Amino acid sequence: MRDLFEEMFENQPLDPTEAARRNMRPSLRSRFYQAATVTEGAAGFDVLLDGRPVRTPARHPLAAPVRPLAEAIAAEWGDQEKVIDPAAMPLTRLANSIIDGVVPSPGPVAAEIEKYLGTDLLFYRAANPEGLRARQAEHWDPIVAWAADTLGARFVLAEGIIHVEQPQHAIAAARGAIPAGANAEEAWRLGALNTATSLTGSALLALALAAGRLSADEAWAAAHVDEDWNMSFWGRDEIVLQSRAYRFAELRAAATVLDSLR
């Protein structure tokens, strides 16, 4: 079964357009199992196909630290019908990346999230038009205030795109909310937080999602204020919206992990 899962899930494209292109090819594997189930094992709660363990591309057990999360992964396998489509399994893909990449080496992942704190999306506001400024303030100001009040991280806002150096004490305070990945649950939180950060372009939105301050829908809307504003004037871009739908599924998978471990 090793070759099967390596072929299906290893090196899955991060770009949605490339993912769609690859998945147009007649290379999807037929569903070969009757049932996807969960059982408690040495690595947590293992996902089984007809009683046989599933393994990640690096040959680790596909196992989650809590049962509800493992059951959600198993449900993705159960939802596959005639073929197994990795593009329709964002939670499994995220689980693979966490198990194979984050668990053995959490430090660089935490450092990557921390980098966003110096240039977060929420810090840079439009000079005009007024309607866009108001929409940014509506979605972003409450999260900036939450970071100050809850995390003790008081950041500086700027107009335009010129870089503004953020206070080190603010970055340090927000960094304290990033999991270190010292155990399995922390590593899963860290991996999900990293995914949410990269998808939204904002560590603050990701941290608010992790804390339950924002839902996945709210975080996604906040991350796309500028894009939605432009589409309201210039019309919908179907290619962009298809890409967004793919990435939103990734964010919902990250939110599932964070909700399960909160």
Tell me how crowded residue 79 is: count the other CB atoms within 10 A of its CB.
11
CB contact burial 119-145 (16+ within 10 A = b; e otherwise): ebbbbbebeeeeebeebbeebbeebbe
Residue 180 pLDDT grade (very low, low, confident, very high; cuts 50, 70, 90): very high
pLDDT at 238: 80
Q: Is the pLDDT of residue 79 over 90?
A: yes
Mean pLDDT, rounded, for 112-126: 97
193-245: pLDDT as tens digits: 999 999 999 999 999 999 999 999 999 999 999 999 988 887 777 888 888 99
What is the chain's mean pLDDT, rounded? 91
Q: Is the pLDDT of residue 192 over 60?
A: yes
Q: Which domains does the chain have, with CATH numbers?
A: 2-102 (3.30.2180.10), 106-261 (1.10.3580.10)
- Cα dist from 137 to 110, 123, 125, 132, 234, whole Å: 28, 10, 8, 9, 22
Residue 5 pLDDT grade (very low, low, confident, very high; cuts 50, 70, 90): low
Residue 11 pLDDT grade (very low, low, confident, very high; cuts 50, 70, 90): low
Residue 9 pLDDT grade (very low, low, confident, very high; cuts 50, 70, 90): low
pLDDT at 253: 98
Q: For the chain, how long is the longest CA-to-CA vector?
A: 59
In angstroms and rounded to an integer, the radius of gyration of the C-alpha atoms of the chain is 20
Please tell me which residue, 213 or 16, carries the higher pLDDT value.
213
137 vs 73: CA distance, rounded Å: 37
Q: Is the pLDDT of residue 16 over 90?
A: no
Q: Report whether 71 contacts 39 (CB < 8 A).
A: no
Classify the C-alpha dihedral 69-72-74-76 as positive or negative. Answer: negative
What 3-state class would DSSP assign to 128?
A: coil
127-167: pLDDT as tens digits: 999 999 999 999 999 999 999 999 999 999 999 888 999 99
Residue 1 pLDDT grade (very low, low, confident, very high; cuts 50, 70, 90): very low
Residues in a beta bridge with 62: none
pTM assigned to the model: 0.89
From the list 127, 189, 121, the residue with the least C-alpha distance to 155 is 121
Tell me how crowded residue 185 is: count the other CB atoms within 10 A of its CB.
18
Joined together, the tokens standing for residue 104 give 């053995």
pLDDT at 130: 95
